[in-house]
Amino acid sequence: MRGMYIHIPFCHQICHYCDFNKVFFKNQPVDEYIESIGNELSILVEEGHSFKNLETVFLGGGTPTSLSEKQLDRLLEIIHQYVDIGSLKEFSTEANPDELTSGKLSVLKNGRVDRLSIGVQSFDTELLKRIGRTHGADDPLKVIKEARQLGFENISIDLIYGLPGQTSKQWEDTLDKALSLELPHYSGYSLIVEPKTVFYNLMNKGKLPLPGEDIETSMFSMLIDRMEAAKRQQYEISNFSIPGKESIHNLIYWENDEYAGIGAGAHGYLKGKRYANIGPLKKYMENADNGTRPIINQHEVTKIESMEEEMFLGLRKTAGVPFNSFETKFGKTLLEVYGVVIEDLSNKGLVEVAEDSLKLTRKGIFRGNEVFQEFLK
């Protein structure tokens, strides 16, 4: 296990596009939930898992910054109790710009959190309102300034393109503002309208004016070009950084390595098994508090599945899937297993057989799904 993900499923406001496991903060047993996280960690330790040599811890949600200072402090205290913080290479939290008060920043700093991933999404006030965000366009600027003053250097922001009503010009302005902050890391995601979201319902009523495939494509193209021009290299389909500032935690996913998923609805990959935790809070907490793993399902990944995952996750990285690491993991060469597929994809100009790895071409990056699915049985 290289990393740990901890899910904080509370939000003060639910975004119109979000389909993660989350609930309104109000009237929820937040304090008790934090204790349940401790209980889940203790169960895992009892089952023989060790958190001593972790490289990363990642707090995600929901919104970790929806917690009060006190709650945040308690959460960090619990993490310190189980995780050897000294061994960590990266300790990240997601944060909402309008919730990241100086008080919370200090708590995070004291708790040795060293990376902030801020959900900015857009620098257009109108758009922000339309997608259900509570912060304004200027909030991130203030927060980032303050965080930097407190000594946070490793800061990333999330941006979304393809939003309803969004024009190319608006996206360009957002990218300009984002890059003017000169952050080491940026994520740029395309809007996917998922079931059980406000957007989904609007879409079904024909009331969601999405920009369409052509504009979305050019927005993606613009994202890559702007980032590269500003020396933020695309190291994964949606992620850009100055070299050495890649998100180690996310790389764990794409390198097909193991991680613990803690909290309601979290997903993890431990000792060859992928598992999902129970989503509903009450049930999750009951299980964790009674000393049983709060999982809803788990699946032992077969060798073939693992090879497939190695490919469809690994190819998301611009560095691609290294030939030697594939062979070390599976005892067969990449070309032995997927030679035919690779030849076909390479003829289509979607992948490139480089000296020591298989990579997507620029065309392949835009059409990743076509590549990934070819590696599935």
246 binds other proteins (CB under 8 A): no
For residue 72, give the nearest of 100, 52, 44 by alpha carbon: 100
Which residues does 349 contact at the CB level (< 8 Å), separation at least 6? 361, 363, 364
Number of residues that bind other proteins (CB under 8 A): 41
Q: Among 106-114, 139-147, 325-333, 368-376, which window interacts with other proteins (CB under 8 A)?
A: 368-376
As measured in angstroms, the least distance from the Cβ of 5 to other proteins is: 5
Among 198, 276, 319, 353, binds other proteins (CB under 8 A): 276
- Does residue 310 interact with other proteins by CB under 8 A? no
CB-nearer residue toward other proteins: 151 or 212: 212
Largest CA distance in the chain: 57
Least distance to other proteins, CB of residue 371, Å: 9
- In DSSP notation, 80-95 reads HHHS-GGG-SEEEEEE
Strands (E) in the chain, as ranges, are: 3-8, 10-11, 23-24, 56-61, 90-95, 115-121, 154-161, 185-190, 233-236, 239-241, 259-262, 267-270, 273-277, 295-300, 321-322, 351-353, 357-360
Nearest to 158 by CA among 245, 239, 59, 250: 239
Q: What span, in angstroms and rounded, lies between the C-alpha atoms of 302 and 300? A: 6
Length of the chain: 377
Q: Hey, which residues between 55 and 74 contact other proteins (CB under 8 A)?
A: 60
**Phi, psi (deg, nearest 5) at residue 347:** -65, -30
189 vs 200 by CB, closer to other proteins: 189
The residue within the footprint of other proteins, chosen from 62, 268, 294, 320 (CB under 8 A), is 268
**Number of helical (H) and strand (E) elements in the chain, helices listed first:** 15, 17
* Rounded Cα–Cα distance for residues 267 and 161 (Å): 26
d(CA 335, CA 333): 5
| Of positions 13, 14, 20, 167, contacts other proteins by CB under 8 A | 20
Segment 223-242, which members bind other proteins (CB under 8 A)?
237-238
Applying the rule CB under 8 A, the residues between 79 and 138 that interact with other proteins are: none
Residue 244: CB atoms within 10 A of its CB come to 6
Stretch binding other proteins (CB under 8 A), from 68-76, 126-134, 140-148, 187-195? 187-195
Residue closer to other proteins, measured from CB, 107 or 350: 350
Q: Using CB under 8 A, pick the residue from 27, 213, 244, 331 that binds other proteins.
A: 213
Q: Which is nearer to other proteins, 276 or 353 (CB)?
A: 276
- Position 122: which residue type? S
220 binds other proteins (CB under 8 A): yes
Residue 187 in contact with other proteins, rule: CB under 8 A: yes
- 304 binds other proteins per the rule CB under 8 A: no
- Residues at the contact surface with other proteins, assessed by CB under 8 A: 5, 20, 60, 158, 187-190, 192, 213-214, 216-218, 220, 237-238, 253, 259, 261, 266-269, 274, 276, 299, 308-309, 312-313, 348, 365-370, 372-373, 376
